[in-house]
Amino acid sequence: MSKKRRMRFVLLTYSAFAGASYAQQMEATDEGRIETAMHAAFPEARPDWLSRLKGDQTMRACSKYRDAPPAEVARTIAARESATIQYPPDGRLIGDWKKGEQLAQSGYGLRFTDYPPTRENGGNCYACHQLTKEEVSHGTVGPSLVQYGKIRRFSEAEAKVAYDKTYNSHATSPCSLMPRFGTNGVLTIEQIRDIVGLLMSPESPVNRP
């Protein structure tokens, strides 16, 4: 069973425990009603933050299908999100793994306590992924990325896959749980390149024996 299918199966299984969906029984959960409630709940939101209370087209679809979109919706999402990916002008996709490691450790950025910013945004990769054997404090929401580059023989094609995935994971996995780091402006092209460096450099701790 694929991961996505397993997730859908799990949700269906447990919805049986939890009773039928409350939302489906109600008409009160239309988008207009939700947006009204959200605006009331965040009275301190600055005008330029109001867009944060509302997902874009892709997020609305993912929310609706609880991250398990039907094939056609998934195709639409993949096409739309692929189109947003931008590449470094010099075409070099593998950056500095040491900077990548720092970004992977840092969860700083975009929280309401992070203004005005005092340092660059982080990628917080370790929150969800294992990357190196040395860092024991890693999450398991995403797959382990230990030996990521080595397993992939450090190929250029795989470096592009890693770049795309970090820039916008929905391009290849519609409704992935991973943030769209590039598309949403969380990380810069330079930073994403450094994270690809962490994953794909032979000397990176990710790929150490």
Helix (H) or strand (E) holding 192: helix 189-200
Instruction: Tell me if 129 contacts another protein by CB under 8 A.
Output: no
Site string for another protein, 17-36 (x = CB under 8 A): xx--xxx-xx-xx---xx--
Residue count, binding to another protein (CB under 8 A) = 65
What binding mask, one character per residue, do residues 87-126 give for another protein by CB under 8 A, x or -? --------------xx--xxxx-xxxx----x---x-x-x
The residue with tokens 């039907």 is: 70
Residue (of 201, 118, 111) closest to 152 by Cα position:
201
Type and span of the H or E element at 182? none
Single-letter residue type at 78? A
Q: What's the min distance (Å) between Cβ of 44 and another protein?
A: 5
CB contact at 8 A, 73 and 165 = no
Does 8 sit near another protein (CB under 8 A)? no
Decide: is 146 part of the binding site for another protein (CB under 8 A). Answer: no
Binding of residue 153 to another protein (CB under 8 A): no
Do the Cβ atoms of 206 and 148 come closer than 8 Å?
yes
3-state secondary structure of 3: helix
- Residue nearer to another protein on the CB measure, 14 or 91: 14
The least distance separating another protein from the CB of residue 192, rounded to whole angstroms, comes to 15
Distance linking the first and last C-alpha atoms of the chain: 30
Q: Does 189 bind another protein (CB under 8 A)?
A: no
127 forms part of the interface with another protein (CB under 8 A): yes
Q: Does 209 bind another protein (CB under 8 A)?
A: no
Nearest to 181 by CA among 194, 172, 168: 168
Q: In the complex, what is the shortest distance from the CB of residue 110 to another protein, in angstroms, rounded to a whole number?
A: 4
Binding window for another protein (CB under 8 A); candidates: 12-20, 83-91, 145-153, 188-196: 12-20
* Residue 143 sits in the site that holds another protein (CB under 8 A): no
Phi, psi of 17 (to 5 degrees): -65, -45
Q: How far is CA 21 from each of CA 16, 66, 190, 209, rounded to the nearest angstrom? A: 9, 12, 43, 48
CA angle 132, 137, 141 (to 5 degrees): 85
Interface with another protein (CB under 8 A): 7, 10-11, 14-15, 17-18, 21-23, 25-26, 28-29, 33-34, 37-38, 40-46, 49, 52-55, 59, 62-63, 66-67, 101-102, 105-108, 110-113, 118, 122, 124, 126-128, 134-141, 177, 179-180, 184-186
